[in-house]
C-alpha cells in the first residue's frame, strides 16, 4: 500500500513539473508577444514621426519656393521702376517682409510707437496689479492682526474663567474639608490644615491677580481685600482647629 502511495506521489510530482513547465512557457510566450507589440508600436510611432517630419520639410520647401518666386518678381518690378534703389530694396527684402522702403520706415516707426504704448500699458497694468497685491497683503495683515487680537482676548477670557472656576472650587473644597476634619484624628489633621491654608493663600493671590488684570482701582482693591479676608479666614479656621483639638 505504502509503495503505491509513493508511486502516485511521484507521478503527481511529474505532472506538476510538466504543468509548471507549460506555465512557464506560456508566460514566456506572453512576454515575447508583449515585447513584440511594444516594438511594433514603437516602430509605427517612429514611422509616423518620420512621415510628419517629411511633410513638414516639404511644406517648408514649398514655402521657400514661393517666397523666392515672390522675391524674384518683386526684384524684377524694382529694376523696372527704380534701378538706383535696388541695393536698398534687396537689403529690405532680406530684412523685413519685402515692403517698399518708405512704407517700411513708416511701419517701423508706427510699430515702435505701438511697442512703446504697449510697454507703458503693461507697466501700468503691472503697477496696478502690484498695488492690488499690496492692498491685499495689507488687508491680510490687518486680518491676521485682528485674528491675533481676538485670539488673545479669547485666551484672556478663558484664563479669567479658569481663575473663577478655581476660586469656586477652592471655596467648595474648604467647606467640605471643614466638615470632614472634625471626624478625623489629630495626626493627619494638622498637615491637612496647613495644606488647606497654603491652598487658600494661593487662591487668594490668584484672585488678587485676576482683579489686577481686569484693570480698575476699585476692583483691584476689592479683590485684594477679598484675598486678605480669605487668608484671615484660613488662619482663623486653622487656629480654631488647633484649639479644638488641643
Cell 520647401 belongs to residue: 61
Q: What is the pLDDT of residue 23?
A: 80
Element (H, E) at 159: helix 101-181
Q: Please choose, from the candidates 113, 226, 28, the residue with its C-alpha nearest in 3D space to the C-alpha of residue 105.
A: 113
Dihedral sign for Cα 61, 64, 66, 69, please.
Answer: negative
If you count DSSP H runs as helices and E runs as strands, how many of each does the chain have, helices first?
A: 5, 0
Q: Residues with Cβ < 8 Å from 96, sequence gap 6 or more?
A: 104, 107, 108
Q: Residues with Cβ < 8 Å from 180, sequence gap 6 or more?
A: none
Measured CA to CA in angstroms, residue 30 lies from 18, 19, 20, 35, 167 at distances of 18, 16, 15, 9, 81
Q: What is the pLDDT of residue 166?
A: 82
Q: What's the alpha-carbon Rg for the chain, to the nearest Å?
A: 50
Decide if 191 contacts 161 (C-beta within 8 A): no
Q: What is the pLDDT of residue 224?
A: 45
Q: What is the pLDDT of residue 217?
A: 45
Enter the C-alpha cell of residue 100. Answer: 517698399
pTM (2 decimals)?
A: 0.20
Cell 474663567 belongs to residue: 161
Phi, psi of 152 (to 5 degrees): -60, -45
Q: What is the pLDDT of residue 246?
A: 47
Measured CA to CA in angstroms, residue 17 lies from 22, 28, 30, 158 at distances of 9, 16, 20, 77
> Torsion angle of alpha carbons 232, 234, 238, 244, nearest 10°?
90
Residues of the chain falling short of pLDDT 50? 209-233, 246
Q: What is the pLDDT of residue 170?
A: 80
Report the distance separating Cα 86 and Cα 127, nearest Å.
Answer: 48
Q: Give the rounded distance of the alpha carbon of 233 from its chain centre.
A: 57
Amino acid at each position: 500500500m505504502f509503495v503505491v502511495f509513493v508511486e502516485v506521489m511521484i507521478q503527481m510530482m511529474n505532472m506538476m513539473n510538466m504543468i509548471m513547465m507549460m506555465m512557464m512557457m506560456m508566460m514566456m510566450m506572453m512576454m515575447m508577444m508583449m515585447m513584440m507589440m511594444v516594438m511594433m508600436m514603437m516602430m509605427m510611432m517612429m514611422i509616423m514621426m518620420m512621415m510628419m517630419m517629411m511633410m513638414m520639410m516639404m511644406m517648408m520647401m514649398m514655402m521657400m519656393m514661393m517666397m523666392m518666386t515672390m522675391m524674384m518678381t518683386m526684384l524684377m518690378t524694382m529694376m523696372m521702376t527704380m534701378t538706383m534703389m535696388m541695393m536698398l530694396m534687396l537689403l529690405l527684402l532680406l530684412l523685413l517682409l519685402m515692403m517698399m522702403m518708405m512704407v517700411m520706415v513708416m511701419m517701423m516707426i508706427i510699430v515702435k510707437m505701438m511697442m512703446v504704448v504697449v510697454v507703458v500699458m503693461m507697466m501700468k497694468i503691472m503697477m496696478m496689479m502690484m498695488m492690488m497685491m499690496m492692498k491685499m497683503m495689507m488687508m491680510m495683515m490687518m486680518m491676521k492682526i485682528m485674528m491675533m487680537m481676538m485670539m488673545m482676548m479669547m485666551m484672556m477670557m478663558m484664563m479669567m474663567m479658569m481663575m473663577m472656576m478655581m476660586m469656586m472650587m477652592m471655596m467648595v473644597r474648604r467647606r467640605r474639608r471643614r466638615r470632614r476634619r472634625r471626624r478625623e484624628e489629630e495626626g493627619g489633621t494638622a498637615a491637612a490644615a496647613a495644606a488647606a491654608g497654603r491652598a487658600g493663600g494661593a487662591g487668594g493671590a490668584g484672585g488678587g491677580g485676576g482683579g489686577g488684570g481686569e484693570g480698575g482701582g476699585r476692583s483691584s482693591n476689592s479683590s485684594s481685600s477679598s484675598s486678605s479676608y480669605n487668608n484671615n479666614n484660613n488662619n482663623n479656621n486653622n487656629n480654631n482647629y488647633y484649639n479644638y483639638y488641643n
